[in-house]
Amino acid sequence: MATVLERWLKLKERELEHSTYTGYRRIVENVLVPRIGSARLRDFDRAAVKDLVASFGPETSGKRINNVLGPLRGALDEAVHDELIATNPLTGFRVKRRVASVEAEEVDPFSPAEVRAILGACDLEQIRNYVQFALATGLRTSELIALCWSDVDLKAGTVKVRRAWVMGKMKVPKTKSGRRTVELVRPAIEALKAQRALTGLAGEFVFHDPRTGARWGSDQSLRAGEWRRALVKAGVRYRYPYQMRHTFASQALSAGENVMWVAKQMGHHDWTITAKKYARWIPSIVPDAGDKVAAVWASGTGG
């Protein structure tokens, strides 16, 4: 199977966008080959497919598994075309939504107390500025890395999201909602003002890796370095830096911000996506949820 998968990757390298190809290559090299690379093509039947799916833990979502099966399906289609096998065992096969959805695992925001502890534990000012800005805006990691000083308007209190750094290449957001102007709250403005003193004259990009003095290449070095150290020092359970985006959304909604405003800030094309994804955390953060509507009824104006 390893040979089949690698040959398919080679065929697709010229056809696919760089980011798509890189994603497929990572799936093939890091997931498929270690799990099924030694299997013989002629023995890889529907039962083998089910065994592959079963090898993923219950925390892995159906969507994630289907994404992994995508390159495998393509490689097996190519094998059918080359008459190496008669049929593709993945034809019509799709993993249904799992009961133990990974969605609840993915959205794991930091509490206000954890946010304060993390910021206090950031030893380097550039890291603290990055973390504070991320928590106060909800920008995606790829958008933070690509943010330029030309996108910043401190007088208006806004930043324009016009590009993202995805898998080693600068890309323009595909959707209108992704290309947006984000309103800055006070902590975000304070972080930018502090950062301007450090990188305002050091190039076009706002946030730099303090070790190299250049724009972050990805969040991998941040994860393994200063981010992990800050969480350990703060005594906060480890989560990926992307949880800062979820933290912004959950805390904004819990503070009473309009869900449509939060959706616009996040770059969601439909506010119902925002409401569905984050609503479950709001009651646990807001102890007086429901008091306002109760007060209306108590005043006698509710009927």
Mean pLDDT, rounded, for 52-67: 81
Return the pLDDT at 203: 80
Return the pLDDT at 92: 85
Q: What is the pTM of this model?
A: 0.63
Which among 207, 204, 252, 205 is positioned nearest to 226, based on CA atoms? 207
- Higher pLDDT among residues 33 and 219, named by residue: 33
- The CA angle 198-146-237, to the nearest 5 degrees, is 80
Return the pLDDT at 173: 72
Return the pLDDT at 43: 85
Check residue 214 and report its DSSP letter. E
Tokens of 48: 């083998």
Which among 183, 153, 147, 199 is positioned nearest to 263, based on CA atoms? 183
Return the pLDDT at 236: 94
Mean pLDDT, rounded, for 100-106: 45
Mean pLDDT of the chain: 85
Q: What is the pLDDT of residues 228-265, one digit of tens each?
A: 899 999 999 998 888 999 999 998 988 888 889 999 99
Percent of the chain predicted with pLDDT > 70: 86
Which among 140, 164, 162 is positioned nearest to 245, based on CA atoms? 140
- Which of 47-56, 71-80, 139-148 is the least confident region? 47-56
Q: How many CB atoms lie within 10 A of CB 258?
A: 11
Residue 103: pLDDT band by 50, 70, 90 thresholds? very low
Kindly tell me if the per-residue pLDDT of 294 is higher than 70. no
Q: What is the pLDDT of residues 159-183, one digit of tens each?
A: 999 888 775 677 787 677 788 999 9
Q: Can you list the domains of the chain with their CATH numbers?
A: 2-104 (1.10.150.130), 107-285 (1.10.443.10)
